[in-house]
Chain A
Amino acid sequence: MIKRLSACIREYKRDTILSPIYVTLEVVMDVLIPLLMAKLIDNGVDKGDLSYIVKMGLILVVCCIVSLTFGALSGRSAAIASAGFGKNLRHDLYHHVQDFSFTNIDNFSTASLVTRMTTDVTNVQNSFQMLIRIAVRCPIMLIFALVMAFQINASLAWIFLVVLPILAVGLALMMTKVHPIFKRVFKTYDKLNSVVQENLRGIRVVKSFVREDHEIKKFDKVSSQIYSDFKKAEILISLNNPLMNFCVYACMIMISWMGAKLIITSHGSSMTTGELMSMISYIMQILMSLMMVSMVFMMIIMARASAERISQVLTEEPSIEDPVNPVMQVPDGSISFEDVVFSYARHAEHPVLDHINLEIHSGETIGIIGGTGSSKSSLVQLIPRLYDVTSGCVKVGGIDVRNYDLETLRNEVAMVLQKNVLFSGTIKENLRWGNENATDEELVHVCQLAQADSFIRQFPKGYDTYIEQGGSNVSGGQRQRLCIARALLKKPKILILDDSTSAVDTKTDALIRKAFATEIPDTTKLIIAQRISSVQDADKILVLDNGKIGAFGTHEELLATNTIYREVYESQTRKEDR
């Protein structure tokens, strides 16, 4: 995991290395300053040597400036390195996800992919910055300050060695106690959020059933839980302060007592007052850095979860990749399924598609009908190789789809997905997803075919109308027609519509199909639909039943031979009987 993540440092290696170096230099200065101060007091102030004071003072000023410079430099390097690291991490994630197949995308949910690329990256980026700066600074500070303290007076410095473990154990105990509580708090937080979210989403239900009090009770239960848990956690954390104070004060008392005794009994020969003062400075430095170490430690533990989630994405192997010697040309729009078995999970008990054999000729229009879960979408998604078959093979133009260059194949097999989306941008920009270089005339042409031109022209800004994210400012039927137009712009050899006209009225639906028949007769068209009327004039209709082919034939043949088809047809026509 660390190896994969650290690979994202790349061009920021220099700053990543420089930052701890600068930090080290800064720390050296920080530690030297109290030592030099001791000298200044003892040799200068004590002895009344003004010139020594000035000389030492100047050295100290230089030390401060050097420390400041290195501190600032390390801050700069750390900022550059961490921002760059975050950038590379995002870059790697995003580029890697672009290579994901549908299977890979299904493995992670969309929401979790988004969190991983946003919140998790930010977490890891922040901890990275901590790691190369503060996590370096504190231990070095701790060691240097300890060394200096021992150098001043080893017989006093051992006090640190007594107090340090007490503090360390105390901090460790606190962390182990707090951690599980915090974990629980965050879960309860999620619960609180979901209660609010459900309430917001269902506010009309709440109000119509006059369930406000019921909801308030529900909320109160969660909020009370948060209260008691959070209170516990916070009290535990607040123990930090007295513990820290206790350690600092204990050191102060012991050192002043023993130091004073030492100075007095030795008449200043074993220790000087200046040294005593430096010693007390080191107390603060040592204990503070220990506390920072514990905080950094906590942060890193928290970020570990994020790092793990990120590396899961990065190490996920794209399950579909280009073949070694790809075929770069799709000869025609014929499709054949040869004994195709398919399941989403590798070892599923019941395959989603069960030994499918199917032959579709170039230019044919095929209707596909079947109930929910009859695997209609799964069947057509194999054609542009959005998923790979489990066994058997799917051929387009007589060549196994696994032998094609993916881009070549997908450019020739245009698919309008059932869950289709438009992206924020103008209508023109959205359509050009189909073909970047399409002229305005071509755009208008495909929109005419998809029966979208007329409503687009009714918008005040026409083709330059801005589509909101997800296409929320156009109606369902309009969105579907725009998606069809976008797919048509590819001028594909095969066009697949996965229930893409469900929100379009029957008349427009018929017009679209008519346009297909006259304007793109050579394109193979596969139409999945709920309405029989959408498919009844197709060359052939495929009835899928639970992953198997129930029937395959013309409307008339199926009416005569297939009971499922006849039932559905009758139930629909009875309802829409004129």
Chain B
Amino acid sequence: MPPVPHRGGPNGANQGPVNFKALDKTTFRRLMSYLFSYKKTLLVVLFCILISSLTSVIGTMFLQIIIDDYIQPLMTQSAPVLTGLMKVIGTMAIIYMAGVVASLFQGIFMARISQGVLKTIRDEMFSHMQTLPIRYFDTHTHGDIMSHYTNDTDTLRQMITQSIPNLFSSGITIIAVFVAMLITSPILTVFVIISIFSMLLFTKFVGGKSATYFVGQQRSLGAMNGYIEEMIQGQKVVKVFCHEEKNKEEFDRRNEELCENATLANIYANILMPIMANLGNLQYVLIAILGGALAIVSGGQLMTLGGIATFLNLSKSFTRPVSQISQQINSVITALAGAQRIFHLLDEESEKDNGYVTLVNAKYTDGGQLVETPEHTGLWAWKHPHEDGTLTYVPLRGDVRFLDVDFAYEEGKTVLHNVSLYAKPGQKIAFVGATGAGKTTITNLINRFYDIADGKIRYDNININKIKKPDLRHSLGIVLQDVNLFTGTVMDNIRYGKLDATDEECIAAAKLANAHDFIMMLPEGYQTVLSGDGSGLSQGQRQLLSIARAAVADPPVMILDEATSSIDTRTESIVQRGMDQLMHGRTAFVIAHRLSTVQNADAIMVLEQGRIIERGSHEDLIAQHGQYYQLYTGAFELE
């Protein structure tokens, strides 16, 4: 198993509540830069928002014109002429239509931008993730990484599709309405400003309370769901131990706690709306009183009837965007926090590759010289450019040597000490030792999932640091103890080892791996679709497939990590034969969990705490009467 040094460590921390101040402006700016790549569309959208916001403001002013300029004077006339009124209303209808059209286009274009940005971000995340070193995946839980694709992207979607246009149109509306209010009545405007400020203060108080309790609710909901998950997964054990009643008690306790937190959080969230709405109403009433008084006292000098009507509507139009902004701020903050986590992933350093030795198809000339050739010859060579400009070709043979290798996953905690070993082409090297002795670590170094701290690893006498990583990995096959299959047909899964393999090649590989027989028993044979990591297959069958997958790639060096879990004896022997056939003629590194499988190895390395303490063939080691002998006679357990 790969070590997980930071289980729930630093990566756990980025799930917590986010401090607004911690979100530097760069996050916002960077997010905006994604939007700016749609410059033209964005301009259209902004223009549309401008039009539709202005329309609604003008619409409010329009009532005043009708009342003051037409209704009031015309009312007293005995034979009123309505053409003027008609014209005004006609103009208004046109303006309104423009507003409707603008909001139509705004929606259409905004959808294009927001989904485009999200796609770009998703794609960037995924392609960047492919370049990250294994260390990243070992130190971050899958749940955390997944949440970048789900939760974090979701909040971003909300922000881009809703919050940003909303904030923009709210801003425009506020400015326009403010100007309109000032024109209508400066005195009342001052009053509105004061009352809005007090409203905001109140909102902040209630909203703050609500936010605190929401955090509490989220926490107990998380704890609750975790408890449910653990217990339901162990439900059969619960039944066997008649632990139902006790579980119910514990559950009820947690449930009660969750209920309390949820109640508090929701109360504050629920009362916020009516309070805001009614404070708005209250303000409305007070303006009416104040405006009415002004109108009467000044005799229509400071205030007209139409003015009051307009101002009342304006004040409503002013309150709405203000409270909208205050609501949106929260979702902007969460979205920015999500964006920050996404950018964090995008900023993770990619796997470094300074290699320059590549793997090429080669052939021998008549003169016995090895040269590069474009066609597929089945013969491979390392193309090694040297500093003096010359090129040498070294045939790929599968000779691997470790020279005094030290390695640490974390600085200061060396897990491999002074490991030296050599595997000649075609040899089988087995690693034996307890969990944590460093078996898997050694194989992690051969394919450069991790880089060594000190010492050298040479592959066909080339320092592996000089070999380009993709080329190095192409030359190595791997069968892991936890088999990972992908959604797709059995054939697709085998072909994963060599994408341009023909069906015949895949079937031949399956036969070599001893997998052909069981595949033919599947309902659709090679075309059977596997889903959910091949969950329909038994552990043994999954292993056979992963052996076939490695076989089709046909690399000169194999790394095999045996499965620890128990498979029944018959399948085990089939798997073992498959493995043996795969290893035939290749250099093989085997991590053994059962001693029965290592006896025919050319050399067995017994590891203890990162050191090779014994090495030799099975017979040598038995004769030594050391650790291996103890293991063999069953005095110690391997796992």
Given contact pairs A71-B277, A196-B146, A205 touches B569 in the complex (Cβ within 8 A): no
Contact pattern, B 103-130, Cβ under 8 Å of A = 1, otherwise 0: 1101110111011101100110011011
> Cβ of B533: which chain A residues have Cβ within 8 Å of it?
198, 201
B198 at the interface (CB under 8 A from A): no
A327 at the interface (CB under 8 A from B): no
Q: Are A98 and B285 in contact (CB under 8 A)?
A: no
Q: Are A476 and B568 in contact (CB under 8 A)?
A: no
Smallest Cβ-Cβ distance to B634: which chain A residue: A507
Q: Are A260 and B96 in contact (CB under 8 A)?
A: no
Contact pattern, A 375-416, Cβ under 8 Å of B = 1, otherwise 0: 000000000101000000000000000000011001100110
Instruction: Please measure, in the bound complex, the distance between the C-alpha atom of A410 and the C-alpha atom of B469, giving whole angstroms.
Output: 57
B365 at the interface (CB under 8 A from A): no
A156 at the interface (CB under 8 A from B): no
> Cβ of A219: which chain B residues have Cβ within 8 Å of it?
122-123, 126-127
Q: What's the minimum C-beta distance from B131 to chain A, rounded to whole angstroms? A: 7
CB contacts under 8 Å to A, within B258-295, are 258-260, 262-267, 269-275, 277-279, 281-282, 284-286, 288-289, 291-293, 295
Q: Are B285 and A60 in contact (CB under 8 A)?
A: yes
> Cβ of B496: which chain A residues have Cβ within 8 Å of it?
205, 209, 211, 214
Q: Are B263 and A41 in contact (CB under 8 A)?
A: no
Instruction: Please measure, in the bound complex, the distance between the C-alpha atom of A78 and the C-alpha atom of B267, giving whole angstroms.
Output: 8
Q: Are A87 and B255 in contact (CB under 8 A)?
A: yes
Instruction: Please measure, in the bound complex, the distance between the C-alpha atom of A238 and the C-alpha atom of B127, giving whole angstroms.
Output: 31
Smallest Cβ-Cβ distance to A100: which chain B residue: B235
> Cβ of B270: which chain A residues have Cβ within 8 Å of it?
74-76, 78-79, 129, 133
> Cβ of B639: which chain A residues have Cβ within 8 Å of it?
475-477, 503
Smallest Cβ-Cβ distance to B531: which chain A residue: A194
Q: Are B568 and A200 in contact (CB under 8 A)?
A: no
Tell me the count of chain A residues lying within 8 A, CB to CB, of chain B. Answer: 157
Instruction: Please measure, in the bound complex, the distance between the C-alpha atom of A384 and the C-alpha atom of B276, giving whole angstroms.
Output: 61
B237 at the interface (CB under 8 A from A): yes
Smallest Cβ-Cβ distance to B238: which chain A residue: A98
Q: Are A230 and B115 in contact (CB under 8 A)?
A: yes
A349 at the interface (CB under 8 A from B): no
A256 at the interface (CB under 8 A from B): yes
Most chain B Cβ neighbours within 10 Å, of A83, A194, A199, A490: A83
Instruction: Please measure, in the bound complex, the distance between the C-alpha atom of A133 and the C-alpha atom of B273, giving whole angstroms.
Output: 12
By secondary structure, the B interface counts as helix
Q: Are A249 and B59 in contact (CB under 8 A)?
A: yes
A539 at the interface (CB under 8 A from B): no
Instruction: Please measure, in the bound complex, the distance between the C-alpha atom of A452 and the C-alpha atom of B260, giving whole angstroms.
Output: 42
> Cβ of A180: which chain B residues have Cβ within 8 Å of it?
none
Which one of B110, B288, B449 contacts A207 once the chains associate, using CB atoms below 8 Å?
A: B449
Q: Are A421 and B233 in contact (CB under 8 A)?
A: yes
Contact pattern, A 173-189, Cβ under 8 Å of B = 1, otherwise 0: 00000000000000000
A312 at the interface (CB under 8 A from B): no
Q: Are B137 and A41 in contact (CB under 8 A)?
A: no
Q: Are B568 and A371 in contact (CB under 8 A)?
A: yes
Q: Are B274 and A84 in contact (CB under 8 A)?
A: no
> Cβ of B150: which chain A residues have Cβ within 8 Å of it?
193
Which one of A99, A214, A505 contacts B244 once the chains associate, using CB atoms below 8 Å?
A: A99
Which one of B131, B238, B242 contacts A406 once the chains associate, using CB atoms below 8 Å?
A: B242
Which one of A67, A420, A475 contacts B278 once the chains associate, using CB atoms below 8 Å?
A: A67
Name which of B73-81, B324-332, B375-383 contacts chain A: B73-81
> Cβ of A196: which chain B residues have Cβ within 8 Å of it?
126, 145-146, 149
Which one of B96, B266, B476 contacts A79 once the chains associate, using CB atoms below 8 Å?
A: B266
> Cβ of A214: which chain B residues have Cβ within 8 Å of it?
496, 499
Q: Are A205 and B478 in contact (CB under 8 A)?
A: yes
> Cβ of A5: which chain B residues have Cβ within 8 Å of it?
none
CB contacts under 8 Å to A, within B69-106, are 70-72, 74-77, 80, 82, 85-86, 89, 92-93, 96-97, 99-101, 103-104, 106
B369 at the interface (CB under 8 A from A): no
Given contact pairs A202-B486, A223-B119, A241-B103, A83 touches B263 in the complex (Cβ within 8 A): yes
Name which of B12-20, B224-232, B609-617 contacts chain A: B224-232
Given contact pairs A61-B282, A407-B242, A415-B240, A75 touches B274 in the complex (Cβ within 8 A): yes
> Cβ of A94: which chain B residues have Cβ within 8 Å of it?
228, 247-248, 251, 255
A208 at the interface (CB under 8 A from B): yes
A417 at the interface (CB under 8 A from B): yes
Smallest Cβ-Cβ distance to B68: which chain A residue: A273
Most chain A Cβ neighbours within 10 Å, of B63, B263, B305: B263
By secondary structure, the A interface counts as helix
> Cβ of A75: which chain B residues have Cβ within 8 Å of it?
266-267, 269-274
A159 at the interface (CB under 8 A from B): no
Which one of B108, B286, B571 contacts A235 once the chains associate, using CB atoms below 8 Å?
A: B108
B312 at the interface (CB under 8 A from A): yes
Q: What's the minimum C-beta distance from A204 to chain B, rounded to whole angstroms? A: 6
> Cβ of A367: which chain B residues have Cβ within 8 Å of it?
none
Which one of B59, B82, B573 contacts A264 once the chains associate, using CB atoms below 8 Å?
A: B82
Q: Are B596 and A202 in contact (CB under 8 A)?
A: no
Q: What's the minimum C-beta distance from B139 to chain A, rounded to whole angstroms? A: 12
Q: Are B111 and A86 in contact (CB under 8 A)?
A: no
Q: Are B289 and A80 in contact (CB under 8 A)?
A: no
Report, nearest first, the 5 A-B pairs whose CB atoms are least far apart: A71-B274, A238-B107, A75-B270, A505-B637, A202-B484
B392 at the interface (CB under 8 A from A): no
Contact pattern, B 477-497, Cβ under 8 Å of A = 1, otherwise 0: 110100011110000000011
Q: What's the minimum C-beta distance from A443 to chain B, rounded to whole angstroms? A: 15
Instruction: Please measure, in the bound complex, the distance between the C-alpha atom of A293 and the C-alpha atom of B46, giving whole angstroms.
Output: 30
> Cβ of B241: which chain A residues have Cβ within 8 Å of it?
410, 433-434, 486, 490
Q: What's the minimum C-beta distance from A82 to chain B, rounded to whole angstroms? A: 7
Name which of A297-305, A357-365, A541-549, A569-577 contacts chain B: A569-577
CB contacts under 8 Å to A, within B197-256, are 221, 224-226, 228-248, 251-252, 255-256
CB contacts under 8 Å to B, within A60-98, are 60-61, 63-65, 67-68, 70-72, 74-76, 78-80, 82-84, 86-87, 90-91, 94-95, 97-98
Q: Are A245 and B240 in contact (CB under 8 A)?
A: no
CB contacts under 8 Å to B, within A416-438, are 417, 419-421, 423-424, 433-434, 436
Name which of A45-53, A518-526, A550-558 contacts chain B: A45-53
Q: What's the minimum C-beta distance from B462 to chain A, rounded to whole angstroms? A: 18
> Cβ of A234: which chain B residues have Cβ within 8 Å of it?
107, 110-111, 114-115, 161
Most chain B Cβ neighbours within 10 Å, of A37, A40, A193, A231: A231
Which one of A41, A200, A505 contacts B636 once the chains associate, using CB atoms below 8 Å?
A: A505
B456 at the interface (CB under 8 A from A): no
A267 at the interface (CB under 8 A from B): yes
